[in-house]
Structure 1
Amino acid sequence: MIISILLPDLRCGGAERVMLDLAHEFVRAGHEVEFVCMQARGEFLGEARQSFSLVDLATPRARHLPLALTRYLRRRRPVSLLAAMWPLTGIAGVATRLAGRDIRLVSSEHVDFRHTPSLRQSERWALKRFGQQLYAPCHSVVAVSQGVADSLQEVAGLSVERLTVIHNPVRPLPPGLMTAEDRRHLAGWLEGGMRLIAIGTLKRQKGYDVLLRALADLRKRQDARLLILGEGQLRDELERLAVNLGIADGVWMPGFRANPGTFLQHADVFVMSSNWEGFGNVIVEALAAGVAIVSTDCPSGPAEILDNGRYGHLVPPADAMALSRAIARMLDAPMPPDLLKARARSFRPPDKAAQYLRLLTGDQN
């Protein structure tokens, strides 16, 4: 059985990582997987090409995708199509209708549509006006958290019956050896008193300005040092803020690293300071590493992953002082690593892939 997975590209994002992990499990279950990308580019391209078939539709603009995808569906004739991320999920519904074939379509949404500034006004209008029709060809619409499901009901008018909540699978990467260059560059963090770590793109969504202000407050009382793994457009702004706060000597931003487990194993507390999320894969990665967690209770995902505070401290978004106090409490009394690792096993890829396969194949056994 051919399962096609539709993505914009294979850049290093949470949804892309999820789709790759699901694809590996689909193959283990005996299915053939083919990635279909608007553009064949991104950091995960090598992994995808090594393990799966890959089709480059060479359509940089979404408006060209319906016809390109329709031609692909008519030629390749997949049994099932898993489309990830709006607007591809809506376009996939149009293309399956144009293809005139009996294709089992499952759409997977990874953002809370109520809190996504990148969603253009025209897209919000389209979702509000035509959401039910665009998703109508889907055999199911998967939301990666209950918050995402709630947003689809509110913004797109989808009924509860149309939605299935499947938390993201997260495959913990075994910690590797830190390179000599990283070990030299991060020596101040590694040799510090209390080591904090945050992981994610340097963008407004992640609330790193609040995290830096929290660190400045925390450092008035103890030697805490922060490592941020990620790259993005706010690097210069965040570096200036760290200087202005007087904490530049306690902050390291080495850029993106493919295996966060290598660095998590040295951390005392993982901190997520996001203003919004769809799920929050890195929280599960921290759980799997047995690292204590402090997170904003942002929409959507962290509270679901941490079971409303059972597995980590939750604080309001955009509150630096509350974040600082929660980090201090966690440093003083961290949660047992075995408890956190047990929680991480709730998000095992084989279990989540089985849930997706029931939708993609129609086999409910």
Structure 2
Amino acid sequence: MISILLPDLRGGGAERVNIDLAHEFVRTGHEVEFVLMRPHGELLNEARKSFSLIDLAAPRARNIPLTLARYLRRRRPDALLVAMWPLTVIAPLAVFLSGHRCKVVVSEHNSLSLQYREWGLGHRAALRTSMVVGYRFVDRRVGVSSGVAADIAALSGLPLDAFDRIHNPVPSRPKLSDEAIQDAEVLWSAPKGARVVTVGSMKAQKNHPLLLGAFAQMSRPDARLMFVGTGAGEADLRALADDLGVASQVIFAGFHPDPTPFYQTADLFVLSSDYEGFGNVIVEALACGTPVVSTDCPSGPAEILEDGKYGRLVPVRDSQALADAMQDALTTSHDPALLKQRASEFAPEIAAKRYLELLCP
């Protein structure tokens, strides 16, 4: 049995990745169980339909070692796949306390030095120290992009060759029902030709204000900008849209477990992040044959787009460059088949095979 340890199953990239991996693990004959600090999140019900879920009832990280150790002694999994710091450094301690030996593979899904750069010296010291110690007691360490692997190697003081790079899995886009397409069309409420979509949580990392500003600079009354996702920054974005005079052109679609209808009915996908771990949403857009404009942020977009071969890359936090690239992309023809072919290189079976080589050698 493979146990997958996560904080919860909110609608984030790492959570989606692990559900997609779990489906592939089961398809190849493995039993999978999700182990959660707390049982909540937008993806919880989806996971519950296919997998066993264990609630550790551990609201804080300090509660994890003993509760996870008890779980390991009771369930005795063959392998433990752990995602996201600090779980990636706590899990090895829990395994030691449990007395149960199993393969421990940890994966980081973001550039931690950037994610926690505003948290102060004390937190950064704790981050580094915990990784220096904890990473030495796991079997394998995974970064989801070359940039993430380099970042966590530097933080932990381990050589880069101590880390495996495994790109995130992104399933092929399913054929949509007419009803799903129609629902998306109703939300757009504008003809095709200048529909811009972005997908992701509304948090500082995604820099949605940059995208909103660039959209306003385009000065295209026929254009529409759709935000698919929710988060703490939504109220500020709505206020900014009013201030910029584009509120009537901006659509807040909310969270959708499967944003495929919005990719497929859009003319352009844009990622405006200051940093990423990988950028699953870029691959999701490519899989629908939708052109992409992205900031060339660390790390992932340039790897996915092969330095601009499969989409446009612009400097981070440059609203004029982003506006120009969006305008150009909307007026240039694209080859959907080429974009879909690139997306197919991130198929779940490819990533799952790599993980299984680490978990069950």
What band does the TM-score fall into relative to the shorter chain? over 0.9
**Is 1:205 the counterpart of 2:212 in the alignment?**
no
Displacement of 1:33: 0.5
Match of 1:187 in 2: 189
Letter in 2 for 1:341: K
Equivalent residue for 2:68? 69
The CA deviation at 1:223 is: 2.9
Encode CA deviations 1:309-350: one digit per residue, 9 max, x unaligned: 100000011111000111112112233101100000110001
Is residue 194–residue 225 contact of structure 1 (8 Å, CA) maintained in 2? yes
User: What do residues 17-73 of structure 1 show as CA deviations (whole Å, max 9, x unaligned)?
Assistant: 000010010011111111100111112112222111111101111110110001111
Matched position secondary structure for 2:49: helix
Deviations for 1:167-222, whole angstroms, at most 9, x for unmatched residues? 0001134234338765444313xx254111111111111111111111111125x7
Does the Cα contact within 8 Å between 1:6 and 1:83 map onto a contact in 2?
Answer: yes
Q: CA deviation at 1:226?
A: 0.8
> Match of 1:39, SS?
coil
One-letter amino acid of the structure 2 residue matched with residue 238 of structure 1? L
Aligned to 1:41: 40
Contact 1:96 1:137 in 2 (8 A): no
Alignment match, 1:92: 91
Contact kept, 8 Å, 1:173 with 1:259, in 2: the verdict is: no
Q: CA deviation at 1:146?
A: 0.6
Percent identical among aligned pairs is: 50
Aligned to 1:58: 57
Offset at 1:76? 0.8
Would the alpha carbon gap of residues 12 and 49 (structure 1) be closer, same or farther in structure 2, given more than 3 Å must change?
same
Equivalent runs, 1:247-326 vs 2, <5 Å:
247-326=246-325
Answering whether residue 142 of structure 2 is matched by residue 152 of structure 1, we say no
1:178 matched to 2:180: yes
> Contact 1:292–1:334 (CA<8 Å) still a contact in 2?
no
In the alignment, which residue of structure 2 is the partner of 1:111? 110
Q: Which amino acid aligns with 1:273?
A: S
Partners of 2:17 and 2:357 lie apart in 1 by 17
Give the 3-state SS of the residue equivalent to 2:289 in structure 1: coil
When the two structures are superposed, what TM-score results if normalisation uses the length of structure 1? 0.94
Cα distance in structure 2, aligned partners of 1:68 and 1:118: 30
Contact 2:185 2:265 in 1 (8 A): no
| Separation of aligned partners in 1, 2:104 and 2:192 | 51
CA distance in structure 2 between the aligned counterparts of 1:41 and 1:236, rounded to whole angstroms? 23
Following superposition, the deviation at residue 263 of structure 1 comes to 1.2
Moved more, 4-13 or 254-263: 254-263
| Kept after mapping to 2: 8 A contact 1:192/1:225 | no
CA–CA separation in structure 1 for the residues paired with 2:15 and 2:101: 26
SS at match of 2:140: strand
Segment drifting more, 19-28 vs 247-256: 247-256
Give the deviation of 1:128 after TM superposition. Answer: 2.1
CA distance in 2, matches of 1:55, 1:119: 33
2: CA distance, partners of 1:230 / 1:185:
14
Cα separation, 1, equivalents of 2:301 and 2:187: 31
Mapped partners of 2:159, 2:29: distance in 1: 33
Alignment-mate amino acid for residue 208 of structure 1: H
Counterparts of 1:340 and 1:261, CA distance in 2: 15
The CA deviation at 1:250 is: 1.1
Deviations 1:275-307 (A, max 9, x none): 111111000000000000000001111001101
Give the Cα separation in 2 of the matches to 1:151 and 1:353: 23
C-alpha RMSD over aligned residues: 1.7
Aligned match of 2:347: 348
Amino acid at match of 1:259: D
1:166 aligns with 2:166: yes
Shift of 1:120: 4.1
Task: Give the alignment's TM-score, normalised by structure 2.
Answer: 0.95
SS at match of 1:41: coil
The answer on whether the counterparts of 2:107 and 2:142 sit within 8 Å (CA) in structure 1 is yes
Counterpart residue type for residue 14 of structure 1: G
- Matched residue pairs, number? 358
Question: How far is the alpha carbon of 1:88 from its aligned partner?
Answer: 0.5
Greater displacement, 42-51 / 321-330: 42-51
CA contact 2:173–2:287 (8 Å) conserved in 1: no
Q: Which residue in the other structure is 1:338 paired with?
A: 337
The one-letter amino acid paired with 1:249 is S
* Structure 1: 5+ residue stretches without partners: none
Asked if the contact 1:312/1:335 (under 8 Å) is kept, the reply is no
> 1:252 is paired with a residue of what secondary structure?
strand
Query: 1:129-174 deviations in whole A, cap 9, x for unaligned?
Result: 3423211121110000111111112222122232000000011342
